[in-house]
Every structure is written in C-alpha cells, then in structure tokens.
Structure 1
Amino acid sequence: MAQRSVVLALALWCLVADGEAVWMELSTTATKCFSERIQSNVVVIGDYDILFDGYPTRPILSIQVTSPYGKVLHHREKVMQGQFSFNTAEPGVYLACFSVDTLDKELVVNLNLDWKTGIATKDWDALAKIDKLEAST
C-alpha cells in the first residue's frame, strides 16, 4: 500500500510539477534574464551556481530578482552561487537577471539556474520517507 501511495504521489508530481532547470551562457558584456508568468500566492524557490572549468579564478555574479511591478525580491553582488525564495504577491512576470563581474571581456560563463514554483517546491523525498515510516507502523 505504501509503495502504491509513493507511485501515486510521484505520478501526480510529474503531471503538475512546475520547475525548470536552465543553463545559460553569460558573457561579460551583457545581462541575461529568465522570466516566468506566475499567479499570486505561489511559492518560488531558486538555486543558482556558476558552472566553471579551467578558469584561472572563479568568476562572480550579480543577480536581481524582481516582481511584475519592479519590486526587488532578491539582490546579490559578487557571489558564485546562491538561493532565493519568495511568495508571489501579485500575478505577472517575475524576472531573474544575471551578469558576470570580471575584468576579462572575452570570458563566457555557464550558469545553472534551478527555478521551481508551486508544487515543485515540495520536498518529495521527505514525503516519501514519511509515508514509508507511517506504512510500516
């Protein structure tokens, strides 16, 4: 029975999960943005990290996440990785913009952004473990 519940939960997650892992190429001469139209009262979680290989020094980023009306929800400068989370206050397009801070104008950096909204923000591994524990008692 517990296995059936886990399979059902996994199937439901696959049908309604709204999460996206994105890799972006960032040059030092431009800012790149990721946007998503989101309804109000939705949880949003983001993890970002520079994927680097062979650079003499690890590049650093600046990031800014804004609401549809321009309210700054997350802002960091000179970071290599980070996280943000918020609840949407109004429906509309939410925007995460990234730029590379370096003196090397020829550098191209790969960025991994894991952006999750709504049900995709749930910790399904923890829920499956709890279900297994409850079923065995």
Structure 2
Amino acid sequence: MGCGAAILRPTAALLLCSVWFVFLLLLLPSVTAVWLSLPAAGTKCVSEEIQPNIVVLADYAVISEDHAHGIPTISVKVTSPYGNTLYHTENVTVGQFAFTTTEAGNYLACFWKDSGDKVVGASVSLDWKIGIAAKDWDSVARKEKIEGVELELRKLEAATQAIHENLLYLKAREAEMREVSERTNARVAWFSIMSLGVCIVVSALQLWHLKQFFQKKKLI
C-alpha cells in the first residue's frame, strides 16, 4: 500500500506517509543545533558543507554566564566557500540570518565578543536549519490552502526531492574525487618513470666517467 491509497484509507495512508517522511528526514542533515562557548578574546566558528541552491536559515542568541554584568554583545560573520561575506553584524545579542547557497562547499559562521565588553563568560545558541527544515510549511499551507494528508504528501515530496538532489551532489563529488585521484596516480607514475630514467642516465654517466678516469691513470 502506498501514499496513493489516501483516498480510500486516509488514516492508514497518513500514518504510512508520516513514517516515510520521518525516515527521509533522518537521512537529511537538515537541522544543526550548536552551543558555542566564546572565549574572552578570539573567535569561535561552525561550518557546514552545503550544496548549491539550498535555503539556509539560522537563529542565534547570546547567553551570559555572568549575570551580574548583563548580556554581552557579539559580532557575527558568515562567509561562503570562496570567502564572500553573506552576513555581517556587530554589537548584537540575538539575530537571524538567511541566504540561498550559490556555491558548493563549507559555509562558515563565526562569532566573537565585541572588544569593549568586559563580561568574561558568554555562550551562543545557534539553530542552523538547511533545506526543507528551513521552509515555512505553515505559510505554504495557508497560501495554497492545503492541510492534512495533502500537506504531508507535499512535505514528503520535498524531502524526496532533497534526498535525490543530495545523492546527485554526492555522486558528482565522488566522480570529481575519482578524477582527481586518477590524475594524481598518472602524474605519480610519470614521475616514477622519469626518476628511474634519470637514475639510469646518471649511472651510465658515472660508469663512463670512471672508465675515462681509469684509462687516463692507465689502470685498465
């Protein structure tokens, strides 16, 4: 029985689709909750490898460990794999950043305390959502006037598409890494052959030089 049986047996179909949806979500690294302890001086960063055309939404908040001096302010900077700044702000205690990836690779979010803040201990709670986890399904349901089984099927379709795209991305990365490995092996093989050739030529030159030397000395 599949999801298409929702018209005849909606309760069983909804349960089955929900189980499949949860299973698919477990296969996707879509939500990352991180707790960062910021040093008095220095930067703490968190990175995530993301493929292109993926929506990223993150909420962060500062929690002070020294309640006597209040909540410290921090600076936040998010950069793409090629070093482009996607988000940068200073003197904040809470905030949110969102963007759609255009490059494949590690996206870096860095946090550090502002220099004028005297509070020693501080932590940052970061809720990092990627892909379908960052999508506002309540807004989608209100806009398209869908609910129940239809909404669950829409979520299931989005999860399936995300997994398919992720598998294609991993396949492309594997092919790229295999190509790099093959090129490296070919270069190592040519280098080995050249090294062997150089050794043979040097050995022949040494023998010729020794022969000339001994002939001049009339030893042979």
Same fold at TM > 0.5: yes
Q: Does the 8 Å contact 2:73/2:92 carry over to 1?
A: yes
Segment drifting more, 122-131 vs 29-38: 122-131
How many residue pairs align between the two structures? Answer: 134
The reply on whether 1:10 has 2:28 as its aligned counterpart is: no
Q: Does the 8 Å contact 1:17/1:118 carry over to 2?
A: no
The reply on whether 1:88 has 2:136 as its aligned counterpart is: no
Structure with the bigger percentage of strand: 1
Flag the structure with larger Rg: 2
Alpha-carbon spacing, 1:125–1:7, altered in 2? closer, same or farther (3 Å): farther
Let me know the Cα RMSD of the aligned residues: 2.6
1:3, 1:55 → 2: CA distance?
Answer: 51
Structure 1 residue 116: Cα displacement? 1.6
2:49, 2:129 → 1: CA distance?
Answer: 12
2:38 counterpart (22, 26, 33): 26
- TM normalised by structure 1 equals 0.82
Residue by residue over 1:43-70, the C-alpha shift from the partner in whole angstroms, topping out at 9 and shown as x without a partner, is 1111111123524221111000011111
> 2:185 matched to which residue of 1?
none
Letter in 2 for 1:110: S
Structure with the bigger percentage of helix: 2
Q: Does the 8 Å contact 2:64/2:121 carry over to 1?
A: no
Q: Does the 8 Å contact 2:72/2:117 carry over to 1?
A: no
Q: Secondary structure at the match of 2:69?
A: coil
Q: Does the 8 Å contact 2:78/2:109 carry over to 1?
A: yes
Q: Does the 8 Å contact 2:64/2:70 carry over to 1?
A: no
2:75 counterpart (62, 67, 71): 62
2:76, 2:134 → 1: CA distance?
Answer: 21
1:103 counterpart (110, 113, 117): 117
Letter in 1 for 2:92: V
> 1:120 matched to which residue of 2?
133
Structure 1 unaligned segments of length 5 or more: list them. Answer: none
Q: Secondary structure at the match of 1:130?
A: coil
Letter in 1 for 2:117: L
**Identity across the alignment (%):** 42
1:103, 1:11 → 2: CA distance?
Answer: 45
Alpha-carbon spacing, 1:10–1:57, altered in 2? closer, same or farther (3 Å): same
